[in-house]
């Protein structure tokens, strides 16, 4: 198990200049960095890889940022744009030596519609078709795609581990895995440890966040149960802190962070990492 930090806690968008964060991450004890690439033009992946190497870090995952124009269940143009964006991320991951593309790769974040069942089934078939296409590319490049259920306020499409597993089964690609996040699970799952056990060997990525997006451990989440579940399934992947604060305005607005949840964002990273290492290892 390896512990990582998502850079949204400190910056948006991530650019070449954002690599200045790496020495701090290393000093705090993180092993991997999760990089949200909002636009592939924002970075030179070769430069980012050199900086990671220089500071003894790895890019454990690239986070897909699915805006309104990137939607695998949207209009034909939105589907094409989404697929092309995901392809470019996979290509950059080769240079970054990054194994996992993670996030809600199926649809635009924030799209929550009450559509008739027939339309929902058609959307599902459309996403299955598009994910089969992008998963073939991931298989060719030796990468995995980890599909993340989001809470009901951020999507109407995949909210639970059960739904994510159904999508993985329907796509039928060895490259497609499940990505679970304690913040979203806290809203949507009856019991987080049970969802983890259900994902089993298909759990490819894990986000550890406080129930309020704050510091892991400074909350009411059943971390002991989560630790036991991760151990029971033999999880060996990354555990990443993905928390947001009011300091990064664009992300705060997108994630509905309206108040200061913790004294500082550094505290979220430092105390959160200490807690996770103590609890999960």
Which residues carry out catalysis? 148, 242
**Which candidate, 102, 140, 143, 147, places its Cα nearest to that of 124?**
147
SS3 content of the chain, % helix, strand, coil (to 5): 50, 15, 35
| Both tokens assigned to 233 | 């399934």
**CB of 67 closer than 8 Å to CB of 78:** no
The values of phi and psi at residue 114, to 5°, are -95, 90
**Which candidate, 243, 105, 128, 124, places its Cα nearest to that of 183?**
243
The values of phi and psi at residue 218, to 5°, are -95, 55
147 Cα distance to chain centroid: 8
Dist. CA 69–CA 106, nearest whole Å: 12
Helix (H, G, I), strand (E, B) or coil at 1: coil
Partners of 240 in beta bridges: 4, 207
Dist. CA 190–CA 199, nearest whole Å: 14
Structure letter (DSSP) for residue 159:
-
């Amino acid at each position: 198990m390896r512990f990582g930090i998502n850079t949204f806690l400190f910056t948006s968008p991530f650019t070449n200049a954002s690599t200045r964060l790496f020495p701090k991450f290393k000093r705090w004890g993180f092993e991997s960095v999760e990089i949200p690439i909002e636009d592939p033009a924002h970075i030179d992946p070769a430069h980012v890889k050199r900086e990671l190497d220089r500071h003894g870090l790895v890019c454990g995952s690239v986070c897909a940022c699915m805006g309104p124009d990137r939607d695998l269940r949207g209009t034909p143009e939105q589907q094409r744009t989404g697929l092309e964006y995901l392809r470019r991320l996979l290509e950059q991951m080769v240079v970054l030596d990054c194994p996992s593309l993670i996030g809600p790769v199926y649809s635009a974040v924030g799209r929550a519609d009450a559509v008739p069942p027939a339309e929902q089934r058609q959307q599902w078939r459309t996403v299955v078709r598009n994910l089969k296409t992008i998963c073939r590319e991931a298989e060719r490049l030796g990468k995995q795609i980890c599909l993340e259920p989001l809470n009901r306020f951020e999507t109407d499409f995949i909210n639970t581990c059960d739904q994510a597993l159904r999508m993985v089964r329907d796509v039928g690609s060895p490259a497609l895995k499940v990505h679970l996040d304690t913040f979203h699970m806290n809203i949507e799952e009856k019991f987080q440890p049970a969802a983890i056990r259900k994902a089993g060997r298909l759990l490819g990525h894990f986000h550890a966040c406080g129930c309020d997006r704050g510091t892991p451990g400074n909350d009411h989440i059943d971390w002991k149960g989560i630790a036991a579940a991760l151990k029971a399934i033999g999880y060996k992947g990354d555990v990443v802190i993905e928390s947001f604060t009011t300091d990064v305005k664009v992300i705060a607005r997108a994630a509905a962070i309206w108040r200061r949840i913790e004294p500082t964002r550094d505290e979220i990273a430092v105390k959160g990492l200490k807690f996770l290492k103590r609890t999960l290892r």
